[in-house]
Structure formats: structure tokens, C-alpha cells
Structure 1
Amino acid sequence: MFLSLDYSGDGHWPPDQVVKVLKKYTKHEAYYKHEADNKPLVSTFEGAQASGDWAQIKSKIDCFFVPDWSSVDPKKTASKKHVDGLMNWSSWPNGTDVMSTALDKEYMDALGEKPFIMGVSPWFYTNMIRWHKNWVWQGDDLWYTRWQQVLDLKPEYVELISWNDYGESHYIGPIHPGSLDVFQYAQAPFNYAEGMPHDGWRAFLPYLIDQFKRGKRNDDEEAEIDAGLVAWYRVNPSSRCEDGRTTGNTRQQDQPTMAPEKVLKDRVFFSALLDAPAEVSVSIGGKESSLSQWQYKPKKGSRQGLYHGSVPMNDRMGDVVITLSRDGEELAQLKGHAISDDCEKNLTNWNPWVGHVPAKGSKKASDKSSSNESAAVRVSMTLTFAGAVVGLTACLVLA
């Protein structure tokens, strides 16, 4: 666990309140300490306007300060004496652009030997009238491609955005019904997280985290895998219901806006963790299509690892069934949420449904204790105590 103080949602944090909060929580045995100097790691969401406060704060709490000040050029903040590193919150591409690591590299170049926290997120859709937020950023292949970028760049830290931000649709944690009051409070036109689990996005995290650790150690040995299939897609095709005045991109960040269907494609996306190549077929409403070849495969020369691809919906409606097979033998079959034009309040839900199924013969498939609930506990424990690998987004807001 570590704290990331939200300076955007509730504005400025008085320094004495920051000190009070840090004194209370950084002493906890579960609080993450930066490995090199054993100092508690502290981050922020924005707050560059209060950068001058941190000399005073750090004089009272000897912490390792790695803020997210993404609204400011990293070259202007990396050299500040009280800044021990920086985090890049910008984890989504602009419009229809392919996700780039150019900004991540700018941070790393500006920081030099100082640590860099690289943000990773699977999706972004928000429609909160109270806060004047109503846009999508590109998701689609992002959960796969961004992790490949992490493995290539090898930053010191990775921060997942997010565990439970239902209002922005990038949660990977379980949905707790008692936490969905945000939709009513924020005057959302409908609850677009209800019935849209994202737990499947956690399924391959142990493998990805292990790959990340091995990469930083220059360990080329192939990791043990727990084979399975993950799929995600929107359950409402973009042309069937009203778009809710949602835009692709947002003027709040001086971006050119466009229709949301230009940013998010009507496709079914899937990743498979395999020890050898396999074939995949997707049936929607009983109409089947097969992928001629995977869009992405493991690194050249390796048969084991992550395979990724997608198929178009092509106006097909009905139950979704995705089947992995090898030499005519079924390895895994995922039966997902039906694709439908039955939209709540006739508004397209731009938030995806995510599912996961283990492959036959895998550890999870044979483990009787591997219910959805127990698997979620194991994975969340892995994330929480992954130390230098992954920090869950933890924005603490005072009432």
C-alpha cells in the first residue's frame, strides 16, 4: 500500500493535513517503502501548484516523494530538490492514435537516475454530469499493448489505473454494489458499471508481473504459466443506441473531439496465455468467425506467452462464445455477455464487459478453491505486496 494524494478532485491539501495523514499511515507495516532507502513512498494526483509545500512536508516526514504532475512538462519538475521521482498518469492514446511511449521516454530522460512510475490502464469512459465529464479515450487493445510497452521500457515502478474507479471505467478490482453510489452522486445518466465486471483483466497479472521482474533482472528463462483466455468487448454496438453526447477525447484537455465510435471499435478483443500456439474462434448469436492469425504473438522464437487478437462484431447480436482449440481439441471456452441493442435509457454503454476462463488442465481449472472470489483475493494480494513492481492507485480524499 502507498498513498497518492488527490489534489485535483478536492483541490489544495494544507501541508499540516498532509503531514498528519502521512504520520498516521506510513508507519503501518503494510505501507510500501522504497527499496533503496527504506523510505515510505508517497505520490499525488496532480498538485504541481503546491510543489513548494513539499520541502516543509519532507522536513517533518522523511518520505520518498514521486508525484504525478502530468499537467507540467517533466523537464520543469524532475530537477526539483524535493522530488525523488515522477509518475506519468497519461496512460491512454489521443483519439485514434496508437499508444506511444514517447512521453514515458521524456520522463525517463528528464529524470536520469531518479525513479519513474509508468501508468498502465485498460480503459477510459466517464459520464458524470456533476463534474462535466463525458468522454472516452481509446481502450480496445490497450491492456495488451501497454503491458508490452512496460516490458520494453522497464521502468522502476508500474502503477495500475485503477483498482476501483468505477466512474471512469478503468477499474480492475471486483465491483462492490455499495460503492456504486458515485453514479447517483455524480448525476450519471445511468449506472454503466453495474453488470460489467472487469475481474478478467487481473487474470494474467501474475504472469506479466513475473515477466517484468525477470526483464529487470535480464532473466531470459521462460516463466511458468497458468494458461487461460481473457476477453473484453462492449455489449452495445455503437450504432444501435444514442451516444449520450459522449465524445472521443475531451476539450477539458484541449484535445480535438470526435465521435466515440471512431475511438472505440465494435470488436471482440481477447488475449490467451498459452504454452504453445492455438486457434481461436468467436461465435456471436450463433454466427461464427475464426481468426486467421493472431494479431500479436510472443517474442520471436518463443511459443509460450501471450497471444492477442480481435474480430469485428459485424452487426451480429446475441450470445458470445469464444473457443480456444489446438489440433481439434478444445482448450478453453468462454461464454460471455450477449451483445444487444437493449440499452438502458437507450444510451450506449461505452464500458466493456470482461471475462476470463482457465484452460483445461491448468492449475486454476484443477484447483477446487479457485472460485472467482478466492482468485480475486489471491491476485489482489499479489498486487498489494508486489513492492517495487506495482502500486495500486490509492487516492485518499478527506471529507
Structure 2
Amino acid sequence: MNNVILILCILPQDIALAEKKGIDGFVLNVGSDSWQRARVADAYEAAQQNGQGFKLFMSFDMSSMPCSNPEDGKKLREYITTYQSHPNQLKYKNAILASTFAGQDCRFGAKSLNEGWRNTLKTGLPPVHFVPSFFVDPATFGGLNVMDGSFSWNSGWPMGNYRINNNSDVTYVNNLGGRTYMAAVSPWFFTHYGKDTYNKNFIYRGDDWLFSERWEMLVKNRASIGIAQVISWNDFGESHYIGPIEGAQPRSEAWTTGFDHQGWLDLVQYYSSGFKTGSYPVITRDRVFMWSRLYPAGADAPDGIGKPTNWSFTEDCLWVVVLLTSPAQVRLTCGVAVSTTMVPSGLSKLGLHFFADCAAKVEIFRGGVLALQFAPAKFAFHKNPPNYNFNAFVAASP
């Protein structure tokens, strides 16, 4: 069974929206903060209000949670036992699914990584299907029999200045020996915290229709992928959210305010259907999806934090995906920049480089007659940025 999974959300309306868009569940990214236990309870309650079809599971954030002695493991075990019988707890291969972010340095007082995690999640508990994201050489997977699979967190983005590929997927699958592979897919990555806060200021390369190209890899290779995890629903600090901007933010308002990403949700709906069934859904109406940064990568800004690391990895370009019921001529326009292409029916990917201040517009013509025009409000490129904002502005036609 192929599943599409996302990260933490606790509002009933978000769960209803996610399920409507073809998402099967949320991963609850659980750290060490005391308030998180109550938020996890809220999430399970919200899921149950929506019915039993939407599932949840834990991902223990071991960059936050202590793991040096057996007592530290009790917190993880309590999460497992508290929700083991909950109707919305995700079971995978007849066991409770659990994951991590990191944890490769955890021993919980034992002599080895393998023994420490086995004592914590495999001893004295109901069956747990453990699929962590350990940042280790996949060649070592053979010696980690505590893992029932592995999640490749960094497979969602290129780890350098190159187009996304599936090399990480192939390496993980080849070293897992038939165990569960959980692949990542993500639309973007930008974080801009100064040294006085979280000290994270960098991008991963999101060019060349990253979200679409990554999904197409997963659909093509779906036979070797057990779960696709979309990073993320509401991680505003790293700019890869696809859900509504709501609730408290981790000081990320400077680059998220006005940068709604829900236009990507309908692409999730399209691609997740292909991933789960092996066939893309029939296109019943023309659609346009468009995204880009709104400021030049090379421009300077009055911003004390400075340009993000890897800023030169990205081009000043409008990325467009069109879904067409029949062949059409598609025109992309932004000021003096214009591109016109004859496009077949189905899904196509188009791009347009920016040169000056301009407003983006996409038009679809058939037989010389305008069939659709999409010019989202505020989708404008400006040469002089007020700050270093490498977040994406995303829009989708109705």
C-alpha cells in the first residue's frame, strides 16, 4: 500500500482540508517541550472528530529530545502506549508506525545504537514498525536490524546546485534489503534566522519545478516506495509549508506574511492519486499553477542577517505547471518577458525568466480564442527587495 503523509497539524479544519487533497495522515513531529504533549492529544482528538480514515503517527525529534540514559526512553514509550489503541493511530504492516528526525547518536544507556533503540521501542511494547531518519551512511543499514525501514529526509531537495534526482532513493532502497522505504517530497526550502535567534540562514535549490519533478520520480518508482512524506504542512520557519498560514510562528513572519502556499495543495491531489493508484487522474478542466521568488537572487537588501547561504543556486524564474484538457497555446508574460508555447493535453511544465519589475500572467488560447487568463493579485517581481526573502509566492487558478 502506498501512503502520502504530512507533518504536524492539530486543527480539525486542517485535517479535513488535507484529506480532501488526497493526504492520508499527518506525522506529529514531537520534541522535548512540555507543551507538546497537550498538542499531540489535540491532534488525535481533531483526527477522531473527522472520522477514522485520517491517520497519525509520531516522529520523535531527537535533535531536541534527550537520549543518553534509559529514563529518556520512557517519554518515547509513553507516547507509543498512550495512542496504541487510538482509532486514528497509523498501523503499518500490523504494527504502530514510528519515525524520527535524527537519533543516530542515541544510545539510551546501552552500548550501541541498535541496542539502545531496541530497548526503547522494541522491548515490552506492542509491535512497532520503526522507520527512522538516521543521518548515517546507508551502507550501514545492514547492521541496524532495529530499523524496519528508513526515512530519507534529505531526499526531498537537491543537496547541491543541481537538479533533483533519485540517487538517494536508489541508495536507500538497495541497502534496506526489502524493508520499508519512506521517501521525502518537498516544494521549497528557505530559512532566514540570524545569530541572535536560531542561526539558520540558507536555501536548498527549489528550481526546475522541484515539487512536480520530485513527485514524478516517486510515481515512476512507486513499487519500491512504501510511504511518501511531504515536508511539510506547517513548518513556516523553513518555508516548505503547503497548508494555511495560521497559529503561532517561530519568528518567521518576515518571509511568510503574504506568501501563501496552498496553491501547491491541488498539485498534491493530482500527484498523490498517481502515487497511490499508478494512474494520474483525468483532467476535467484547465488549471494553472505558478510560483517563484519575488526578488532577484543577486540583489542586495537592507537586511542585517545577510544573504542566505547558497543564494546563487537559484534563478530568477517563474515556474509554471499547466493541466490541460486538450492541446493549447500557453503564453507566459511578465513585463517585457514573454514566452509562447504550444502545449499538449495533460500536465506540462513551463518557465519564464524575469528581467525587470513586472506582474506575472498566464494565458491559454485555443484556435486564437482566450480560454483562460490567470494574473494573481500581488504576483509581482521587484528588483529592489526590502529584505532577503527567498520564499516562494505560490498561486493556482480556480
TM-score of the aligned structures, taking structure 1 as reference length = 0.75
| Structure 1 pair 79–333 and aligned structure 2 pair: CA distance change class (3 A) | farther
Q: How many pairs are equivalent?
A: 320
- Contact 1:117/1:157 (<8 A) preserved: yes
2:192–2:308: 8 Å Cα contact kept in structure 1? no
1:242-321 to structure 2, matched below 5 A, reads 242=301, 244-249=305-310, 260=311, 262-285=312-335, 287=336, 289-292=338-341, 304-315=345-356, 317-321=357-361
DSSP-derived class of the 2:271 partner: helix
**Aligned partners of 2:330 and 2:340 also within 8 Å:** yes
Is structure 2 residue 236 aligned with structure 1 residue 166?
A: yes
Task: Quote the RMSD (CA, aligned, Å).
Answer: 2.1
1:163 touches 1:172 (CA, 8 Å); kept in 2?
yes
| CA distance in structure 2 between the partners assigned to 1:348 and 1:279 by the alignment | 35
Q: How far has the Cα of 1:152 moved from its partner?
A: 1.9
* Equivalence for 2:91: 33
Q: Summarize deviations over 1:94-135 as a string: whole Å, max 9, x none.
A: 332121211110100001211100100111111122222111
Give the deviation of 1:20 after TM superposition: 0.6
Q: Quick check: 1:202 aligned with 2:265?
A: yes
Cα deviation, 1:333-381, whole Å, max 9, x if unaligned, reads 22232222453xx3231001000013xxxxxxxxxxxxxxxxxxxxxxx
Shift of 1:248: 3.9
Structure 2's unaligned 5+ residue stretches are 1-55, 107-112
1:1-399 equivalence runs, <5 A: 1-12=56-67, 14-34=72-92, 37-50=93-106, 51=113, 52-56=115-119, 57-61=121-125, 62-69=127-134, 71-90=135-154, 91-129=156-194, 130-140=197-207, 141-154=209-222, 155-176=225-246, 178-180=247-249, 182-183=250-251, 191-215=254-278, 223-227=281-285, 228-242=287-301, 244-249=305-310, 260=311, 262-285=312-335, 287=336, 289-292=338-341, 304-315=345-356, 317-336=357-376, 337-341=379-383, 343=385, 346-358=386-398
1:43-102 deviations in whole A, cap 9, x for unaligned? 111101224332122223321110011x20122135422210001011211332121211
Render the CA deviation track for 1:308-334: whole Å, top value 9, x for unaligned. Answer: 11100122x132222223222333322
Displacement after TM superposition at 1:272 (Å): 1.2
Cα deviation digits, residues 129-182 of structure 1 (max 9, x gap): 222211111002211111111122211110001111111111111111x322x1
TM-score, normalized by length of structure 2? 0.75
SS in 1 for 2:375: strand
Letter of the 2:317 counterpart = R
Cα deviation, residue 198, structure 1: 0.5
Whole-angstrom distance in 1 between the partners of 2:306 and 2:59: 32
Contact 2:231 2:240 in 1 (8 A): yes
- TM superposition shift of 1:12: 3.4
Distance in 1, Cα, partners of 2:142 & 2:190: 30
Distance in structure 2 (CA, Å) of the matches to 1:134 and 1:66: 29
| SS of residue paired to 1:236 | coil
Secondary structure at the aligned position of 1:59 is classed as coil
Which gives a bigger RCO, structure 1 or 2 (Cα 8 Å, sep 6+)?
A: 1
Residues 207, 225 of structure 1: 8 Å contact kept: no
Structure-1 separation of matches of 2:295 and 2:238: 18
- Aligned mates of 1:331, 1:204 — CA distance in 2: 21
- Paired amino acid for 2:152: N
Cα deviation, 1:262-310, whole Å, max 9, x if unaligned, reads 211101001112232322222224x45123356xxxxxxxx55321111
Q: Distance in 2 between matches of 1:226 and 1:31?
A: 35
SS at match of 1:96: coil
Q: Name the CA shift for 1:115/1:304 in 2 (closer, same or farther; >3 Å).
A: farther
String of CA shifts for 1:186-220, please: whole Å, max 9, x gaps: xx6x61011100001111222211111232xxxx6
CA distance in 1, matches of 2:350, 2:66: 41
CA distance, structure 2, for counterparts of residue 109 and residue 237 of structure 1:
40
Change (3 A) 1:305 1:40: farther
